[in-house]
Amino acid sequence: MSTTNYGFQVHAERLAIARLAPADDIPTWARGGFVAITRTAAELSIVCAQAHVPADIVQERDKIAFGIVGTVPMTTIGLLASLCTALAEARVPVFVISTYDTDWLLVSANHFDTACAALVRSGYRVTGEMPQ
């Protein structure tokens, strides 16, 4: 698979991954330039700007999102596996979110530089800086 066709843009906000009870309403604090909401029988997960998430919510903070630039066809095979392998080999944990058009890799801020280096080493372009 050619990696030169894909690049990443770093999202400008630090994100939090929050966990609520499965029957909870979607809260008003679920906002920002990046919001992903997933409900299953076991939980309601919300990814959004960490500045909006109340302190008393179960959450993982300081996540940085790398978004694949452009549209990734749903028929693409092996791209996520390749990306996750590159990050795993660099010992970077990753939280993946897929949308209709593309995929997002969320890593902890303390792994940002290592994640960038691993992606570049694997042939991907990374644009943007770590948000404060």
CA-to-CA distance for 58 and 62, rounded, in angstroms?
A: 14
Residues 6+ away with beta carbon under 8 Å from 127: 7, 8, 9, 10, 69
The single-letter DSSP state of residue 58 is E
- Stretch 97-120: mean pLDDT, rounded? 97
For residue 81, pLDDT over 50 is answered with: yes
- Average pLDDT, rounded, for the chain: 95
DSSP 3-state helix, strand, coil percentages of the chain (rounded to 5)?
Answer: 20, 35, 45
What is the pTM for the complete model shown? Answer: 0.92
Is residue 2's pLDDT more than 60?
no
| Rounded distance between C-alpha atoms, residue 106 and residue 92, angstroms | 10
Phi first, then psi: give them for residue 68, nearest 5 degrees: -65, 125
What would be the CATH architecture of the domain defined by 7-127?
2-Layer Sandwich (3.30)
Q: What are the pLDDT digits (tens) for 8-63?
A: 999 999 999 999 999 999 999 999 999 999 999 999 999 999 999 999 999 999 99
Site of tokens 């029988």:
41
Q: In whole angstroms, what separates CA 52 from the centre of its chain?
A: 17
Tell me what pLDDT residue 4 has.
Answer: 53
Tokens of 114: 């290592």
58-68 and 44-49 beta bridge pairing: unpaired
Q: Which of 116, 103, 118 is nearest to 69 (CA)?
A: 103
Residue spans of the domains in the chain: they are: 7-127
